[in-house]
Amino acid sequence: MHNKVLILDFGSQYTQLIARTIRSQNVYCEIHPYLMDAESINDFAASAIILSGSPFSITNKNAPHPNQAIWNLGIPILGICYGMQLISANWGGEVHAALKREYGFAELYVSDSKDVLFDGLKQTEQVWMSHGDALSKLPECFDILAKTDNSPHAAIKHKTQPIYALQFHPEVVHTPCGKKIIANFLFRIAGLKADWTPGSFISESIKLIRDKVGEKKVILGLSGGVDSTVAAMLLYKAIGNQLIPIFVDTGLMRYNEANRVKELFASYPDLNIRYVDAGTSFLSKLKDVSDPEQKRKIIGSEFINVFDKVAKEYSDAEFLAQGTLYPDVIESVSFAGPSATIKSHHNVGGLPDKMKLKLVEPLRELFKDEVREVGASLGLPDSLVQRHPFPGPGLAVRIIGAVDIHKVQLLQQVDDIFISELYSSDLYNKTWQAFAVLLPVHSVGVMGDERTYDQVCALRAVNSIDGMTADWTELPHSFLKRVSNRISNEVKGISRVVFDISSKPPSTIEWE
């Protein structure tokens, strides 16, 4: 694959944002640790390279540096923040600790608006700074393109080569013109094409899957969520009834989940999904267990046992498919080098080793929003494609304390009312994730002429881009009132409803 960008990661908290911004322009890119060797760099055959920021200071003797091979490729390079300092140092510039550190908004004054990097921008733009070091001596072979009040070299360019560097961060939303700057680099400077689309991904993936799998069978753990369902449809398009989807109902899923999955795939009669009702087994293993980490381990272990037992019935299968996404891959590789394993996340972690099957991961190149776009292109309904994230351990981590069938049924009813009201009020797609939590608290209430002492539930709704940070969703008071009334009236055992207005950080999105 040509027409792609290599992002070398030096440990910036914004590196994934660089990739997401490039992908949003329909250009393929990958993030790799800064210490990528010369052979791998050459094999990658990038059309352009971007150097990320870093928490390190280039003045530190242990500061990370890329392989020198990148400077001899003759392709466009864009350095961001720390990447700018690397570029400057390579060409004889000098970097020192800034007299005044810049963190936050700054006014960028474009001094060379004729350069294509700033094409379409105003003479003055708002940008986001985050640096303690600054370029104190400009390399002789570079020109200044822009400055701020505290950074006389806020943007620079090599006089004869397509090498650019920015002191600010164009990848963050706080730099409104940043996406345009990156687009100018991709299309005007690097001459790339916007050919990374859901359609091109699907056609290429189908070919790759067929080449890898051949006539063999593939087992897939189907959860009913976005990732596993899109993976299932992509595999089905590629290999048809060679796919064996296994749906394990843990008894900890949303209300009527198994039937919803059956309805979704009813129009694909040769997609023979194996449904396994294992709720009793999971609940018995969770009896009297309150510690959230212990719950997760028990559920993960039991899932592997149940799934493996069913999968052994298909002895002719040679592959196991997982819905690994690109953030899972990135998080498994630190900027200083690869770690031992890919994060199992919501996938069936531990199964590949136990089952001795070869892995197929058709979504491992995609971010979550790209998975949704591929799902839509595959013809999946919007209600599935835009579905909110759901934790792998299911409702067990939304029941604070010990789990039993009564609590699961209570929470299923509450959750179903909350989600259905979000849909009917056209609010579901206006929040990133919404769910209910059952608290280990009883509260005095009044039902008719009787006093009650029933449980408390919390409603949670957050907006986020990738789940790394999140803010609570300001749902209308009239909506919350209606949901609270329905829960109190329709769910016997709940006497009080509260709404969680905590952001992440300091809180997490899930309660456990």
Active site residues: 81, 169, 171
What whole-number distance in Å separates Cα of residue 280 and Cα of residue 272? Answer: 24
Contact between residue 244 and residue 235 where contact means Cβ atoms under 8 Å apart: no
What DSSP line would sit under 352-395, residue for residue? HHHHT-EEE-TTTT--HHHHHHHHHHTT--HHHHTPPP--TTGG
What whole-number distance in Å separates Cα of residue 303 and Cα of residue 344? Answer: 13
Question: Around Cβ 7, how many Cβ atoms within 10 Å?
Answer: 24
Look at the alpha carbons of 95, 99, 102, 106 in this order and tell me if their dihedral is positive or negative.
negative
β-sheet bridge partners, residue 373: none
Question: Around Cβ 238, how many Cβ atoms within 10 Å?
Answer: 22
What whole-number distance in Å separates Cα of residue 452 and Cα of residue 443? Answer: 8
Give Cβ neighbours of residue 173 (< 8 Å, ≥ 6 apart).
Answer: none
Give Cβ neighbours of residue 20 (< 8 Å, ≥ 6 apart).
Answer: 171, 367, 369, 466
* Radius of gyration of the chain from its Cα atoms, rounded to whole angstroms: 26
Contact between residue 274 and residue 247 where contact means Cβ atoms under 8 Å apart: yes
First to last CA, the chain: 42
What whole-number distance in Å separates Cα of residue 83 and Cα of residue 101? Answer: 17
Q: Residue 140: which of 91, 96, 94, 95 has the closest Cα?
A: 91
What whole-number distance in Å separates Cα of residue 425 and Cα of residue 430? Answer: 10
Give Cβ neighbours of residue 339 (< 8 Å, ≥ 6 apart).
Answer: 332, 333
Q: Residue 297: which of 282, 309, 315 has the closest Cα?
A: 282
What DSSP line would sit under 278-328, residue for residue? -HHHHHHHTTT---HHHHHHHHHHHHHHHHHHHHTT-TTEEEEE----HHH
Q: Cα–Cα distances in Å, from 289 out to 55, 96, 283, 293?
A: 41, 55, 10, 10
Contact between residue 148 and residue 127 where contact means Cβ atoms under 8 Å apart: yes
Burial classification of residue 66, based on how many CB atoms lie within 10 Å of its CB (0-12 exposed, 13-18 middle, 19 or more buried): buried
Angle at 438 between CA 433 and CA 439, to 5 degrees: 120
Go through the chain and tell me how many residues it has.
512
Tokens for 269, please give them: 């009669």
